[in-house]
Amino acid sequence: MRRALGALAHYWPIAAVFVGWDLWVVLNGYTTVVAPRPGLVLADIAAEPGAYAGDLLRTLLTSLVGLVLGMGVGILAAIAVWSSAAVSGVVTPAALVLRSVPVTAMIPVIARVAGYGDSSILLIIVVVSFFPAFVLTVSGLAATPAAGRDLFGVLGAGRLRTLVRLQLPHAVPHVMVAFRLTAPSAVLAALLAEYLVGTGGLGHLFSTARSYMELERAWGTALLATVVSVLVFVLARGAERRVGARFS
Amino acid sequence: MSAAARRAALATTGVLVLLAGAEAVGRAGIAGPSWPPLSEVAAHLLDADRRATVVRAASATLASAAEGLLAGVLVAAAAAFTGLLLPPLRPGLDRLAALLHAVPVIALAPLLITTVGREATPTVVAGLGAGFVMFVAFSSGLSLGGRRSTHDDVFDALGANRVRRLLRLQLPASVPTVLDGLTLAAPAAVLGATIGEWFGAPRGLGVLIVSAMQNFQVTLLWSAAACATALSLAAYGLTTALQRAAVRRMA
Amino acid sequence: MAQTTPSPAPTLTVAPPAAVALSGVGKTFELSRGRAVSALEDLDLHVAEGEFVAIVGPSGCGKSTVLRMVAGLERPSTGTVVVEGRSPRELARSHRLGVAFQEHALLPWSSIRGNVALPFHLAGRPVDAARVDELVRLVGLEGFESARPRQLSGGMRQRAAIARALVLRPDVLLLDEPFGALDAVTRRRMNRELARIWSEERITTVLVTHDVEEALFLADRVVVMTGRPGRVRHVHRVDFPRPREAAITRSPEFHEAVDLLTGLLDAEGTA
């Protein structure tokens, strides 16, 4: 009983969303063409999970690959510019400017330049994931305490050894912050890009379901997209906390 | 040269190199016909006739983003204060904030089109994007789920009641965190407005960008994208300046 | 101990009722999965009106917990804590407590004057500007009234915190390692100033510290606590006349007392 109350204290918003959604549809007298009730949407997912599964996996996989590639390149680029204060002073502000490009402006431009298709979608996620990893790794490398650097200097450690043994471990929590920030945006970018120029994935499923007026399917896709994004966020936050605690 | 001047010089160099690189790629045609030289984009934006379309769209987006930001901040503040007044709701509100933070606005935009209508959707999506961020900022600023500090002990021992604790401790202490949230919420409002516009609003940069993409109007596409970036940067820059000033004043 | 336990029945002796009375106090903290640790057991401590009592003990002996219970920040698991005939929380709610912790906990956005005046605001009373100025003068912060805490040194911040604790003329003053974060030289100077300030205000005071010399220099009685679970091991009466000057710390009696109490603490550490 106490456990049930505890769960209620923490998870009442989820129940509230569904009840609110249902009441809102019923009280406004919306027909299924305007907004379906949550029961119908859940029934559609339960009846034809196969109709969603392929696109769901595709979105997850594209997001994950793009996220790993983008963050990896971002971290490597940060290590490359870190050795010179001048180079990182030149590159970081430019990266900050590019980071401010709204994804809604970036997707059409990249799609126009690189072509409509899956490779463009991957490229978009890579670009979206690159900048936070780059900027935060640079600041993480710079945040190494001076005492640590002095110690390594006194011990006669070379640049590479100092980087590997001291500065990279110090940068890990910053990289994990980048991961937590980027993971949901990578999923959002994937959904938006699939919606606009994709040939598959939840975003594409959503846009086709909408144009064929399959409202249960469209809302079901939106619901799944929300669940996926929230799960990705929760997992990324958990990873950040766990790894961050280990390294700081 | 002072350290600050040196930093500024390096930063300016970096941005100039970026612009020059984009210009060179466009001139050489490396990336194909859809990557114009930036000078053409600048010419587009400097030409009063051609600029008019972009400016009209940008002001629509700015209006949606600003209204959405304001609404988002107000609603988020109201929700956070509800949690302050009704402690049993706090764990749930906390969880709610974390969840809302992660909700992809794309999932909501089309639903809003059918309910609040095409005109209002960009504003509402901007408000949701900004509101989620601000709710997280208000909650953590007022330390709703937070640990106790020595300040709390002092206020307890001095017999402060809830209202005085709120006015003298929690509100002032929350200002830097809330403004920190604002530096994220303002660009999020710009992004939210353009997402709302993608899904069928009658005007705005989002509409212009999508239609320019589909109609192969390359310089128009880049001009509109540059404008959206400028709006987002300005939103970030202004709020960051505000946040820094407040931190200097408060800490 | 020369204290009487507080008893409502009038007696013929003129011993004053205790200003602070802890009787049979125990405190257990719940750990995860139903385990619990006993921080204090069966602790009796009485502080007379206008008396300065210092509690010393090894770290983790629960001395701060004692203070936090007197401040109403924690409740005892067993026994009672009575302050000025009332529960600590009642006393706090009527704004009759003064506290200073190791962390100064000044409001960073407020000036020194604003910080010293804070208890007036929290009590919902009009600020007595003359009293605030008097306290600022008393702790030697004249000229720094409009400075922000971050512009001051650690010692000056602690003075401001002590001025804040005293400004409402509290019934009871509670000090938890107020100079614990300061360097040894500043700390000794702050002790001398606290002795001077205290002889002007004469407020019932409980000081928690791990520094035996500080305790002997400031207090009328020093309570030595044992660790895990915390109990009173020894009570030492300090008879140096007031106002006390730094000279007493060089007297043989002072050294003798320091050696005695340090010995008690060390025995505890090796036990």
Q: Is the pLDDT of residue C12 over 60?
A: no
- What is the mean pLDDT of the segment spanning C102-112? 91
Q: Is the pLDDT of residue A140 over 80?
A: yes
CATH number at residue A68: 1.10.3720.10
* CB-count burial class (<10 Å; 0-12, 13-18, 19+) for C32: exposed
Q: What is the pLDDT of residues C130-171, one digit of tens each?
A: 999 999 988 889 999 999 999 999 889 999 999 999 999 999
Q: How many CB atoms lie within 10 A of CB B100?
A: 20
Residue A34 lies in a domain: no
Contact between C103 and B146 under an 8 Å Cβ cutoff? The reply is no
Q: What is the pLDDT of residue C4?
A: 46
- What is the mean pLDDT of the segment spanning A172-178? 88
Q: Is the pLDDT of residue A122 over 80?
A: yes
Q: What is the pLDDT of residue A143?
A: 76
Q: What is the pLDDT of residue A234?
A: 85
Residue A17 lies in a domain: no
Q: What is the pLDDT of residue A125?
A: 94
DSSP code at position C50: T
pLDDT-above-90 percentage for chain C: 58
* Higher-scoring residue by pLDDT: A1, C79: C79
What span, in angstroms and rounded, lies between the C-alpha atoms of B125 and C42? 61
DSSP string for chain B: --HHHHHHHHHHHHHHHHHHHHHHHHHHTTT-TTS--HHHHHHHHHSHHHHHHHHHHHHHHHHHHHHHHHHHHHHHHHHHHHHHH-GGGHHHHHHHHHHHHH--HHHHHHHHHHHT-TTTHHHHHHHHHHHHHHHHHHHHHTTSSPPP-HHHHHHHHTT--HHHHIIIIIHHHHHHHHHHHHHHHHHHHHHHHHHHHHTT-SSSHHHHHHHHHHTT-HHHHHHHHHHHHHHHHHHHHHHHHHHHHHHHHH-
Q: Which of B151, B168, B172 lies closest to C121 in CB terms?
A: B168
Tens-of-pLDDT digits for all 251 residues of chain B?
A: 688 888 888 889 988 999 999 999 999 888 888 899 999 999 999 988 888 999 999 999 999 999 999 999 999 999 888 878 887 777 777 677 767 766 777 777 767 777 788 889 999 999 988 988 898 888 888 866 556 788 989 999 998 888 898 899 888 888 888 998 999 899 999 999 999 998 878 899 999 999 999 999 999 999 999 999 999 999 999 999 999 998 887 76
C-alpha dihedral sign at C199, C201, C203, C209? negative
- What is the mean pLDDT of the segment spanning C162-189? 90
Strand order in the sheet with C78-83: C36-48, C18-30, C78-83
Q: Is the pLDDT of residue C224 over 90?
A: yes
Residue A54: give the domain boundaries: 50-247
* Higher-scoring residue by pLDDT: C209, A16: C209
CATH number at residue C241: 3.40.50.300
What span, in angstroms and rounded, lies between the C-alpha atoms of B69 and B125? 10
Contact between A184 and A232 under an 8 Å Cβ cutoff? The reply is yes
Q: Which of A97, A219, A222 lies closest to B15 in CB terms?
A: A97
What span, in angstroms and rounded, lies between the C-alpha atoms of A134 and A103? 17
Q: Under CATH, which number does the domain B37-147+175-250 receive?
A: 1.10.3720.10
Q: What tokens appear for A28 in the block? A: 């406004």
- Give the best residue of A60, A100, A103, A231 to mutate against chain B (max B CB count within 10 A): A100
Bridge partner list, C36: C30
What span, in angstroms and rounded, lies between the C-alpha atoms of A19 and A37? 10
Contact between C96 and C170 under an 8 Å Cβ cutoff? The reply is yes
A87 pLDDT band (50/70/90 cuts)? confident
- Whole-Å CA distances, B230 to B32, B58, B224, B226, C11: 25, 10, 10, 6, 84
Q: What is the pLDDT of residue C185?
A: 86
> Which residues in chain B are contacts of A213 at CB distance < 8 A?
none
C58 pLDDT band (50/70/90 cuts)? confident
Peptide bond into A13 cis (omega under 30): no
Phi and psi based region of residue C33 (left: phi greater than 0; alpha: psi -120 to 50; beta: remaining):
left
* Rg value, chain A, Cα: 22
Q: How many CB atoms lie within 10 A of CB B20?
A: 11
DSSP code at position C13: S
- Whole-Å CA distances, B108 to B87, C67, C117: 29, 54, 50
Residue A220 lies in a domain: yes
What span, in angstroms and rounded, lies between the C-alpha atoms of C203 and C138? 15
Q: Is the pLDDT of residue C3 over 50?
A: no
DSSP string for B72-125: HHHHHHHHHHHHHH-GGGHHHHHHHHHHHHH--HHHHHHHHHHHT-TTTHHHHH
pLDDT-above-70 percentage for chain C: 93
- Kindly determine whether residue A13 and residue B31, on different chains, have CB atoms separated by under 8 Å: no
CA angle centred on A137, ends A132 and A138, rounded to 5°: 105
Q: How many CB atoms lie within 10 A of CB A9?
A: 15
Q: What is the pLDDT of residue C11?
A: 46
> Which residues in chain B are contacts of C121 at CB distance < 8 A?
164, 168
Q: Which of A111, A113, A221 lies closest to B31 in CB terms?
A: A113
- Whole-Å CA distances, A26 to A43, B244, C65: 17, 48, 57
C172 pLDDT band (50/70/90 cuts)? very high
Structural domain count of chain C:
1
Q: Which of C96, C98, C150 lies closest to B251 in CB terms?
A: C150
Contact between C89 and B159 under an 8 Å Cβ cutoff? The reply is no
- Whole-Å CA distances, A11 to A18, A126, A180, B93: 12, 34, 22, 9
DSSP SS3 for C83: strand
Residue C11 lies in a domain: no
Contact between B8 and B14 under an 8 Å Cβ cutoff? The reply is no
Phi and psi based region of residue C62 (left: phi greater than 0; alpha: psi -120 to 50; beta: remaining):
left
- Give the best residue of C65, C89, C97, C109 to mutate against chain B (max B CB count within 10 A): C109
Residue A173 lies in a domain: yes
Residue C179 lies in a domain: no
- CA-based nearest residue to C57, from C177, C197, C190, C220: C177
Q: Which of B150, B157, B164 lies closest to C103 in CB terms?
A: B150
Structural domain count of chain A:
1
Chains A and B touch (3+ CB pairs under 8 A): yes
C268 pLDDT band (50/70/90 cuts)? low
Q: Does C72 touch chain B (CB under 8 A)?
A: yes
Q: How far is A156 from chain B (nearest CA, A)?
A: 29
Residue C140 lies in a domain: no
> Which residues in chain C are contacts of B156 at CB distance < 8 A?
71-73, 92
Q: Which residue of B has its CA nearest to C96?
A: B158
* Higher-scoring residue by pLDDT: A179, C5: A179
What span, in angstroms and rounded, lies between the C-alpha atoms of C203 and C194? 12
Q: Which residue of A has its CA nearest to B32?
A: A113
